[in-house]
Structure 1
């Protein structure tokens, strides 16, 4: 699978069935070549001139399944947002 194939897949959180968006980027370990995380841009903010305030960095271990059209992940968004506030 190519990175361009991943970017066409929608990411859905199975904890709350929320659509997080589409894969925007990936994080690789340069030494091993292993995929560390996928990065999904957060929702745009109209007041901020459509600038994205946050992004979801989803570790590889939280990816449940990669399908033909979607990627299922298991992420507790409340805990992830608490980490961002610190």
Structure 2
């Protein structure tokens, strides 16, 4: 899969059944030594995505369970 194919996919938390954001509005955290993607950094949004609250959520790549045609499914253990 190419980076350009990830844009526009919704990020959904499988445990909370909640939409966290859209790829394209997120940042990728990349390890400079290895070139591997370490995490998604999802900004906290307010008012239907129109205004940033200033916070962000870091989702380690290992918690991404499935990248489908329309969405990215994440599963974050409750202890994190």
Pick the TM interval, shorter chain: 0.7 to 0.9
**Residue pairs, 1:1-86, within 5 angstroms:** 1-23=1-23, 24-44=26-46, 50-76=51-77
By percentage of residues, which structure has more helix? Answer: 1
Unaligned runs of 5+ in 2: none
Distance 2:11 2:46 in 1: 16
Alignment deviations for residues 1-23 of structure 1 (CA, whole Å, 9 cap, x no partner): 33333231110000111111112
Q: How many residues align?
A: 76
Instruction: Extract structure 1 runs of 4+ deviating beyond 4 A.
Output: none
The verdict on how the C-alpha distance between 1:39 and 1:5 changes in structure 2, with shifts beyond 3 A counting, is farther
Structure whose CA Rg is larger:
1
Q: Give me the whole-angstrom Cα distance separating, in 2, the residues matched to 1:40 and 1:3.
A: 16
Report deviation, 1:42: 1.3
Which structure is higher in strand share? 2
| Runs of 5+ unmatched residues, structure 1 | 81-86
Q: TM-score, normalised by structure 2?
A: 0.77
